[in-house]
Amino acid sequence: MTSTLEKKEIEQITAIAPDPSWESEVREAAMRSIVTKPGKNWWIAVSLLSLVVVAGLGAWIYQLKHGMNSAGYNDQAFWAVYIADVVAFIGVSYGGAVVSAILRLSGQSWRAPLTRLSEGMALVTVLIGGAFIFPHLGRPERFLNIVAYPNFSSPLVWDFIAIATYTLATAIFFYLPLIPDMAVAKNLVDKGGKRARLFSILSLNWMGTKKQRALLHRVLTVISLIIIPLAVSVHSVLSWAFALTSRPGWMESVFPPYFVVAALYSGTALVIVTIYAFRKGYKLERFITDRHFVRLGYMMAALGLVYAYLTVADMLTEGYTGITTGWIQETLTGKYAIPFWFYVIAGEIVPIALVVMKKTRNAKGMTVAGVLVVISLWIKRIVIILPAATQPLISGQWGSYHFTWVSITVTLAGVAAIPLLLMILFRFIPLMSIDEMEEVGPLGSIEQISKETLKAAREESIPEPSKEESK
Amino acid sequence: MKKLLAFLLIVALSIFGSSLALAAPAASFSVTQGSGDSLNLSGSCGVGNCTSATFYAKSNQFAGSNFMQIGQAQANSNGNAQISYTPTWTGNTPFKVDFLGTSGSLVATQTFTFDVMKDPSGFPQSAIEFQRPLDSTGSILVKALLTIVALVWITLLGSFFLVVIRVPKLSKQASEEK
Amino acid sequence: MDERAGESGMKLLFNKNQHDIDGDSENANEVSRRKFLKIVGVGAGSVAAVGAGIELIPYKAWADSNPNGWGGNSGVSGMSAATMGSSQEVGNHQWAMVIDLRNCDGCKSCTAACQKAHYLTEDQTWIRVFEMGDSQGNTYYMPRPCMQCENPPCLDVCPVHATFRTDQGVVLVNQGRCIGCRMCMAACPYQARYFNWKAGAKYPDTGVAPTPEFPVPQRLGTAGKCTFCVGNLNHGLMSECASACPMGTIYNGDMITDVAINSLGNTVKLSKFLYENDAVAYKDEYNTHPRVWYIPGHGQNLDTNATTG
Ligand code: SF4
Ligand code: SF4
């Protein structure tokens, strides 16, 4: 019953001819990155970022040759910065998936200008996060042993399966909404050029017929439905790599939601930062307004509160009985006190204050909050990982991890790879989902418009023939 | 009387011994790959009056430059003795066999060098790692979870290919209608 | 040359005939290396002093509740049901270890011998001597090899089956397959796992390729740990740590022949020795079932010997 209704609804909406002036504006803005030649600043940024990435690769080769000790590891600090990178990067990828999938499913029309950027960010960060598994391994060349001799009781095999599945889903989720845009884009670049050919292959000969739209809509709904539990499972499984050991500080039932919320929190923050950077770089203020930032900021603040709550729940439960409090003492007042309290201030109090205060509740304020959250959540991951890894299980000294130039360079390379890959990616791909923007119209891309209103608003401007058609 | 007996005994023994000593080069020894990682060590003292055979191996790990005993076997009426042995190291390993005669003296010695190839995964492993989690309950769980994963992959790839195949077809149809 | 290595130096250490020779380890007549500890109140019975109370599971309680289990009269078959899981093959030996803390003076000879035999770096203390504190503020020493858990968490979490358990109950690492993820280091409750972090360790040319039983040379970027010197044991030799211990603290044992011996030549009936001396399994609440038992103590035997003999 509902499905037939929905079908009708889709057909009605898709039958509407879009507002022509809005259409041309959107097209121009979204194609800005493709049509215009990259400026000097772009080249400088790209070459600087590539330098950092190349330096990171060099550091990794050095590490391969000299052993992981060169990255600061030792027997009592066996997991440290690289696993934190894996968790943090795959974590922020979740933010992209959420803005896109949850907002798509809940019918938030204002998501339209943000989806493309956040999906791109999700794709790029999940690839980088996955790649950080390689410096983490002592023998990366044997990585495929996981496929050849899998031990299904190992959380790392679960990780492998979950991350592979999630990456596939992210890639598909990035590509499918791109199809209609590719059809638009191929007509906007020089005919016969390389890019036109690429676009026309990617567009699959899309013509935007009613049937095609209905098909795409249905498939995207299914994938949105899949990608949310998938992302939840990825971060739960990642947390089980820690929680399924018998180490105090890791062996906690709160870990899966703890990791999921951390991922959402930092992910939303990085979406804010990403859209701010692209809004600035490509002058998209007309489409990505302060209202978008504020909405995302509310989301981020709510997630931040949940995360703070989980942190307290975790530490109180462990600390109260006093059996295994070593890591809590170290975290609160010992070796890890500075990073931990940095997280509390820069990762919770300041960002939430920035959202709460009216003065800073704008694009800039939210972006500052986002940057703080992304950084301090990476630090929080280190604070989760190191105290539990370095604690003495029998007696004796605490171990310690020393950051070396190798691990710092490799991590910075990962950080630099995000903007680098995004900048390159969006030279080939429209900045905003032209199709979705046209569908929701100028109002819908800023305000929340329910499907019904959208329909009603559309019906006013419906040209005569389609009105008849819909009856 | 006693002296005579002792003398006779010595003479007898020396004759016996020299005959054995002559027979010594006739001993043969070979090492072959047995089932799995085990080796079959089989020696023959060649004279038929041996009682037992002691087998030795030399490994840097345990014995330095000396041979160490790895097993004993009774020689059969033809003077053949055989043991099966699973070494725990790899590389070129000298093996040795000593045969004892009825009188207890050494009748034959033979060495043989064999290149021990051992695949580390060929160790006799306990069943534990295969049981977990693939034993009764665990295997159902694993299979169920893997099925879910497979379904997710099928859905993802299925919807991808559905779009990739259907969209151009629909376009074709549409342009034909025109 | 080391006498152990002589042509006829092969003793069948784990001989069934030795069953009823019960020794206790009090004939150590050289105790000059004793450093510490002459404290009252922490006898063999006061288990709680060793850790947080729950970490030690007494052998006695287990044996009493499993009268037919290992150490009871039915021997191997009882063991296979009680401790090995029903479908598991039982090898010709089930290696075990007893560490008699009443004798340990913390000299770390075991660590040195192990590192020498396996060409380990200084950090790689496959058997590590921990200095433990008790509730009275005193210290005693506790050597910790790999516990060769019957239910090893390190095996469960290894993604590529690089960690495996042999039919002799020994947990080994196949360094030819290990991907170096260090999940095992996270999972082991005893901190018994070590990693090859540094390139450039110097190995002599032993002429042998590394096997899990004798992983020399170590491979960069893979995990390693105590192997129980299972190659030695199978050839009737004692493990490097046990034979190097001047105090006879460490016993190599075999659960099938039910014998254990130490470097002083004491041969004991393993199950009886464990039962009568209140042996405990360390941190067995993690369900690991260690194959290493401790006899709680703080080196007191060394004092006794010093005064009596
Ligand atoms: S003591 Fe640690 S390394 Fe040894 S078997 Fe048990 S879990 Fe594995
Ligand atoms: S480091 Fe090696 S032995 Fe340890 S869990 Fe990983 S693959 Fe297995």
pLDDT tens digits, residue range B5-50?
A: 565 555 555 555 544 444 444 678 888 877 766 788 888 877 657 7
In contact, C204 and B164? CB cutoff 8 Å: no
**Residue C246 gets which letter from DSSP?**
T
Q: Does residue A104 have a pLDDT over 90?
A: no
CA of A157 from ligand 2 middle (Å) equals 12
Q: Does residue A2 have a pLDDT over 60?
A: no
Question: Which tokens belong to A287?
Answer: 């489409």
User: Which pLDDT belongs to residue A193?
Assistant: 78
Q: Does residue A431 have a pLDDT over 70?
A: yes
User: Which pLDDT belongs to residue B28?
Assistant: 81
Question: Which tokens belong to C262?
Answer: 């130490």
Q: How far apart (Å, rounded) are the C-alpha atoms in residues A272 and A298?
A: 11
Element (H, E) at B165: helix B136-177
**CA A17-A20-A21 angle, 5° bins:** 150
Q: Does residue A79 have a pLDDT over 60?
A: yes
User: Which pLDDT belongs to residue A33?
Assistant: 83
CA of C179 from ligand 2 middle (Å) equals 6
Atom of ligand 1 nearest to the CA of C225: 3
User: Which pLDDT belongs to residue C51?
Assistant: 37
- Kind of pairing between the strands at C193-195 and C223-225: antiparallel
User: Which pLDDT belongs to residue C208?
Assistant: 64
Which of A281-295, B82-96, C207-221 has the largest mean confidence?
A: A281-295
User: Which pLDDT belongs to residue A150?
Assistant: 86
Q: Does residue A159 have a pLDDT over 80?
A: yes
Q: Which of A8, A18, A11 is nearest to A445 (CA)?
A: A18
Looking at residue C280, its amino acid is: V
CATH at residue C239 = 3.30.70.20
The residue whose CB lies within 8 Å of the most ligand 1 atoms, and thus the one to mutate among C178, C288, C289, is C288
Contact between B126 and C169 using a beta-carbon 8 Å cutoff: yes
CA A229 to chain centre: 15
User: Could you tell me which chains touch chain B, where touching means 3 or more CB pairs under 8 A?
Assistant: A, C
Which of A87-101, A118-132, A208-222, C254-268 has the largest mean confidence?
A: A118-132
- Of the two residues A4 and A205, the one the predictor is more confident about is A205
Q: How far apart (Å, rounded) are the C-alpha atoms in residues A266 and A258?
A: 12
**Residue in B160, B164, B174 closest to A207 by CB:** B174
Q: Does residue B102 have a pLDDT over 80?
A: no
CA of C144 from ligand 2 middle (Å) equals 20
User: Which pLDDT belongs to residue C28?
Assistant: 32
Contact between B156 and A215 using a beta-carbon 8 Å cutoff: no
Q: pLDDT-based confidence at A21, cuts 50/70/90?
A: confident
Residue A432 CB contacts under 8 Å (≥ 6 apart), including other chains: A26, A29, A30, A112, A113, A115, A116, A117, A284, A287
- Of the two residues C272 and B121, the one the predictor is more confident about is C272
Answer yes or no: is the C-beta of C178 below 6 A from any ligand 2 atom: yes
Q: Which of A435, A420, A384 is nearest to A87 (CA)?
A: A384
User: Which pLDDT belongs to residue A206?
Assistant: 87
User: Which pLDDT belongs to residue A5?
Assistant: 45
User: Which pLDDT belongs to residue C252?
Assistant: 93
Encode burial over C86-109: b for 16+ CB neighbours within 10 A, e otherwise. Answer: eebebbebbbbbbbbbbbbbbbbb
Cα nearest neighbour of A168 on chain B? B156
Q: Residues in chain A whose beta carbon is closer than 8 A to a beta carbon of chain B? A: 151-153, 161, 165, 168-169, 172, 175-176, 179, 204-207, 209, 211-212, 215-216, 219, 222-223, 226, 230
Question: Which tokens belong to C134?
Answer: 């008790």
Lowest mean pLDDT among A242-256, A321-335, B56-70: B56-70
User: Which pLDDT belongs to residue C284?
Assistant: 83
Interface test with A, best of C120, C144, C160 (most A CBs within 10 A): C160
User: Which pLDDT belongs to residue C301?
Assistant: 79
**pLDDT, averaged across chain C:** 73
- Of the two residues A190 and A155, the one the predictor is more confident about is A155
User: Which pLDDT belongs to residue B104?
Assistant: 55
**Residue in C5, C87, C176 closest to B131 by CB:** C87
Atom of ligand 1 nearest to the CA of C147: 1
Number of domains forming the structure of chain C: 1
Answer yes or no: is the C-beta of C21 below 6 A from any ligand 2 atom: no
pTM as predicted: 0.79
User: Which pLDDT belongs to residue B134?
Assistant: 60
User: Which pLDDT belongs to residue A123?
Assistant: 93
Q: Where are the domains of chain B?
A: 24-123, 135-178
Largest CA distance in chain C: 55
CA of B103 from ligand 1 middle (Å) equals 52
User: Which pLDDT belongs to residue C67?
Assistant: 61
Q: Does residue A347 have a pLDDT over 80?
A: yes
Answer yes or no: is the C-beta of C223 below 6 A from any ligand 2 atom: yes
Q: Work out the average pLDDT over A431-450.
A: 76
- Of the two residues C18 and C70, the one the predictor is more confident about is C70
Question: Is 3.40.50.300 the CATH number for A22-465?
Answer: no
State the sign of the Cα–Cα–Cα–Cα dihedral A452, A456, A458, A464. Answer: positive
Lowest mean pLDDT among A375-389, B102-116, C128-142, C146-160: B102-116
Q: How far apart (Å, rounded) are the C-alpha atoms in residues A94 and A123?
A: 9
Answer yes or no: is the C-beta of C188 below 6 A from any ligand 2 atom: no
User: Which pLDDT belongs to residue B1?
Assistant: 54
User: Which pLDDT belongs to residue C133?
Assistant: 81
CA B59 to chain centre: 15
Q: pLDDT-based confidence at C4, cuts 50/70/90?
A: very low
User: Which pLDDT belongs to residue C12?
Assistant: 34
Q: Which residues of A touch C143 (CB under 8 A)?
A: none
Strand partners, C214: C211
Q: Work out the average pLDDT over C7-28.
A: 32
**Residue in C7, C177, C231 closest to B88 by CB:** C231
CA distance B1 to chain C (A): 38
Q: Does residue A161 have a pLDDT over 90?
A: yes
Question: Which tokens belong to A215?
Answer: 């098909």
Question: Which tokens belong to C103?
Answer: 């004798």
CA of B150 from ligand 2 middle (Å) equals 26
Prior bond to C145 cis, omega within 30? Answer: no
Q: Does residue C244 have a pLDDT over 70?
A: yes
Which three-class secondary structure state does DSSP give residue B157?
helix
Q: Does residue A239 have a pLDDT over 90?
A: yes
Q: How far apart (Å, rounded) are the C-alpha atoms in residues C74 and C82?
A: 11
Q: Does residue A3 have a pLDDT over 90?
A: no
- Of the two residues B139 and C36, the one the predictor is more confident about is B139
**Which CATH code fits B24-123?**
2.60.40.2550
Q: Does residue C81 have a pLDDT over 70?
A: no
In contact, C36 and C299? CB cutoff 8 Å: yes
**Residue C142 gets which letter from DSSP?**
E
- Kind of pairing between the strands at C95-100 and C128-133: unpaired
**Residue C89 gets which letter from DSSP?**
-
Element (H, E) at C195: strand C193-195
Which structural domain range is residue C57 located in? 3-308
Q: Tokens 């002792």 correspond to what residue?
A: B6
In contact, A129 and A97? CB cutoff 8 Å: no
CA distance B174 to chain A (A): 7
Question: Which tokens belong to C154?
Answer: 């390190």
> DSSP string spanning B27-85?
-EEEEEE-STT-EEEEEE-SSS-EEEEEEEE--TTTTTTS-EEEEEEE--TTSEEEEEE
Lowest mean pLDDT among B43-57, C72-86, C105-119: C72-86
CA distance C273 to chain A (A): 25
Q: pLDDT-based confidence at C239, cuts 50/70/90?
A: very high
CA of C178 from ligand 2 middle (Å) equals 5
In contact, C94 and C160? CB cutoff 8 Å: no
User: Which pLDDT belongs to residue B5?
Assistant: 58
